Amino acid sequence: MFIDLNKLLKLGFKGSHFQQHTIRLFLSTCPRFPPGQTVPVSFDDTIHHVSSLINQPKWEESKHLKLIVSHIPPLVASRIIAQQKDNIELGFRFFRWVCKQSSYCYHLEGRINLLQLMVCCNLFVAAQKAVIFLIKECSGDDEIEKLMGALDDMRETGFRLNYPCYSTLLMCLAKFGMGPLAFRVSRRMARDGFVLGLIDYRSIINALCKNGLIQPAEMFLSRILRSGFTLDVHIYTSLVLGSCRLGDLSEAFRVFDIMSKEDGCNPNSVTFSVLIHGLCEAFQIEEAFRMKQEMIDKGCLPSTRTYTILIKALCGIGSMDEALGLLNEMVIKACKPNNHTYTVLIAMLCAEGRIEEANGMFRAMLKDGLLPGTVTYNALINGYCKEGKVESAFELLSVMERRNCKPNIRTYNELMEGLCRVNMPYKALLLLRRLLDNGLLPDRVSYNILIDGFCREGQLRMAFNILNSMERLDLEPDGVTYTTLIDGLCKQGRLDQANGILGLMMKRGISPDEVTWTALIDGYCKIGKVANAFMFFQKMVDHSCLRSPHAFNSFLDVLSKQLRVNESNAMLGKMVKSGLVPSVVTYTTLIDGLCRAGCTRHSLIVLELMKQVGSLPNVYTYTVVIHSLCQQGRVEEAEALLFKMSLLGLSPNYITYSILVNSHVKAGKLDSAFKILSTMVRNGCQPNSCIYHSLLTGFVMQGRELNPEPMRSPSDIGGADLTMRENGEAYDFNHALREMDIGSAFELLDKIKKCGGSSMDVYNILVMGLCKVGRMSEVGHLVKDMASHGLFPDKTVCSVIIEHFGKEHKFDYCLEFIKLIVNERIIPSITSYCSVILGLRKEGKVEEAQRLVSDLFKFTDIGKKAAVSPYIEFLVKEDQPHEFIELIKEVEQTYRCDRPII
């Protein structure tokens, strides 16, 4: 047998790893001949053996053959196919089979390589059959473009596509909506002497219409009519689709009406679905549902696609319950949801924070026999990460890989963002290595996530290291990158450097947006340089970036905190003159400033003004005023505001109740404080640790002098536990814990229980507090008392106890306590396990550490250890910051080389 090396070189055997491997293998089996000279290639035993096996009955089922073929490279496969030149059908069957069996031919590059070798052997008939197979196997526009490029190269060697190849190619281009390419292929068909049939015209028109290219589609429509063909429902539906893609619904309905009048061209389910989708894209949801009803009235049943379009539209406007109702309707009407239907619902449930329901939907999907794709897994992983459940997200990643669903770059970006959300940016950076191991490379989004994560942690040096790495890889930073860095610098008061980044950003032609300017304005306001902030505000106006009241709110915040009431009022007037409507935040900030200045009467006037202008106060607005009244000792007036809140349908939150409880405690009115607790519980608001801290402090320290409460606004608290954010009160609480005897703790528990409070929560707070002040023997008493009532500390409290023992290097106690709570079926967090494992390793207790790792897999019900262990070990591994610069360099080196092949 002979292969023309000149043909091989013409086909461009230079680029990919597959091609390089093949040419190396080829040359290793051949003597050295100059290009253009025919090279003899000897057959080896493997080729003869495989050729004999495939001529036997049921050869595709042979396990022995599969084992041999799994490592056959394209060159050897092509020579086996060449052996079947008298049985072209068998040769093609082997081609199709080897593409799914050989590890070299799993990917498109390897298959193209094999096709090129077949062409070099002049196996044109088998190659044409192979082309049809490869076209049908393409899973996206990237793959079809790559295949078409290879086919263009093969033309230089004399290989031509036949009509079935061209027709299949047009159908594939229509499937992926690649109109311009379909047009080019039609012209090449004509040059090669092929006459287009109706099915080809149908494919071209469909491809063009998917791109909204109506005029070129109409040109082909004219050719159809000139050729004597009649228009069918498929062509009409494509035209409807094209008009919808352009947003021209009136034209779409005009074509729809013409269809309805034509004989044999009545709209089908696809036509209706296209129109319904067009209406949903135009946010005409009610009209879309009317169209669905019209569809049913005309005897055309809605398809899975129809329902999915409507479900997605309902999710888009936040009508999640209606979308779930539509899913139930599908099931009742025996219309089976598909992967896309479930994925839309899972993504929306995750976006609304309904992660457990999303998980239930995922299980329902599996029960229906559907295999989730990468998009589905990504949606669920994103949902877990947003909830801070990173451990669950990594477990899901292991499930994903176990089911042979390959993660993509977005999967890893979601996980990196999740790690940054839980303040683990170094772990997110380490995840880059796993990304590389999967044959992927980080993109701009990956770097932006990392930069944002380190900026949030105040680790700006690492953020700039990542920026420099990004630039060295020729990945251009975008507006998000620079704005993130500017915001991080502003939060640290490094305004000069923030200005430098702004200059670099503008020098590179990236225009700052509203977020960028607002970050700078807020930064200057925070350090009291209002004049500088005004300068940037003017630039913001000059660049037409003033679209929301956020910048004004920054000014109002600093002016309010500086008690500059008149200037705050002037700023509000300036906002109105700019055509912006003050938000609830704007009014609340203004009220906060008035309260700080002691102008509570004026704050109440603004509160009424908000109702008149239709910007209804929220819970936080009322809480600011209630706090001010309590500071002035006007607690009865503060409590009266609670009633006014209820008239607006607002329920006080834990901060509101905390202020009132704390005020009574400070005044020594413990009975009144407990009454507020009872009211809170009756109104369905569960007391939080802040309230229990205050009650505990008052109960233990009654009759003694407490620290006077400073004049602080809830805006300084930022939604965290109010009591513990006050330094004096934190001291009082810790002092109370040190002074408290165990009898007082049990007495307090009884009083809170009578008010409807949670005994479990109080136990947990007492245990955590006593741990922090080092009273571990009392912790033991409380835990025993809990157990006598059938209670046990929750997972978080158990973790605190474990971590406290760990800090004191009492790892034997840690192991004993872990064993105790596991017996009670309370499994500590993975973080707790990690801290003990690391401590044991540092002390050289390797066997104990390994045993604890085994327990981690056993008790946390993680699943198959082999699949998930890399990810658990990743979370367990101690951060080693010195590794990260080396890791960045590794990424850079990988980026500059060809992408790794799995």
Looking from the CA of 739 toward its CB, the CA atoms found within 13 Å total 14
pLDDT at 718: 44
| Residue 602, domain member (yes or no) | no
Final residue in a domain of this structure, among 743, 771, 799: 771
Give me the DSSP letters along 388-412: T-HHHHHHHHHHHHHTT----HHHH
pLDDT at 163: 93
pLDDT at 855: 74
Query: What one-character DSSP code corresponds to residue 92?
Result: H
Q: Residues 603, 625: contact at Cβ < 8 Å?
A: yes
Torsional sign, CA 494, 500, 504, 509: positive
Residues 6+ apart with CB under 8 A from 854: none
Place of tokens 């019209």: 294
Query: What one-character DSSP code corresponds to residue 669?
Result: -
| Residue 681, domain member (yes or no) | yes
pLDDT tens per residue, range 434-493: 888 777 888 899 999 999 999 998 889 999 989 988 888 888 899 999 999 999 999 999
Instruction: Using alpha carbons, select from 599, 748, 602, 776 the residue that is nearest to residue 687.
Output: 748
Final residue in a domain of this structure, among 771, 802, 830: 771
| Residue 115, domain member (yes or no) | yes
| Residue 277, domain member (yes or no) | no
Residues 6+ apart with CB under 8 A from 624: 588, 591, 592, 595, 603, 713, 714, 715
Residues 6+ apart with CB under 8 A from 236: 255, 258, 259, 262, 265, 267, 271
| Residue 17, domain member (yes or no) | yes
| Residue 787, domain member (yes or no) | no
Positions of the chain with pLDDT under 50: 1-43, 709-711, 717-728, 861-867, 898-902
Number of domains in the chain: 2
Final residue in a domain of this structure, among 771, 805, 831: 771
Q: What are the backbone dihedrals phi and psi of residue 3, each rounded to the nearest 5 degrees, phi first? A: -125, 130
pLDDT at 14: 41
Q: What is the pTM of this model?
A: 0.68
CB atoms within 10 A of CB 866: 9
Instruction: Using alpha carbons, select from 569, 522, 592 the residue that is nearest to residue 550.
Output: 522
| Residue 74, domain member (yes or no) | yes
| Residue 511, domain member (yes or no) | no
Q: Give the chain's end-to-end CA distance (angstroms, integer).
A: 32
| Rounded Cα–Cα distance for residues 508 and 729 (Å) | 51
SS (H, E, C) 557-580: HHHHHCCCHHHHHHHHHHHHHCCC
Containing structural domain, residue 703 = 637-771
